[in-house]
Amino acid sequence: MQIRSVECTGCLECVAICPAKDALVIAAPGRRAMAPWVMAAGVAIIFLGLVSYAKLAGHWDTHLPKQLYFQLVPAAAAQEHP
C-alpha cells in the first residue's frame, strides 16, 4: 500500500517516529527500500554540489558594492515586485 500526500515535505519525520517496524519505507517505483539516512545524504550531496558549482563558476557572489548591499538589505521587506 502506498500513501501519497500533497502535504508531504519529505522531512522523513513520520518514518523516524512510526511505531510499526517497516510500515513506512522510502523506495523509488520498482526499486528496493532505502534507509532514511541514504535519502538525507543524497539531498545533502546534491545541495552541496550545486552550491559548490555555483561558487566555483562565479555565480554565487554578488557584484554589488558592500555599501549599497548593506543599505538595501534593511529595506528589503518594504520592496514590492513590479
pLDDT of the residue at 45: 97
Give the contacts of 44 (CB within 8 A, at least 6 positions apart): none
Summarize pLDDT for 7-45 with one digit per residue, the tens: 877 777 877 788 887 777 777 778 888 887 888 898 999
C-alpha cell, 34: 532505502
Task: Give the pLDDT of residue 19.
Answer: 83
pLDDT at 1: 53
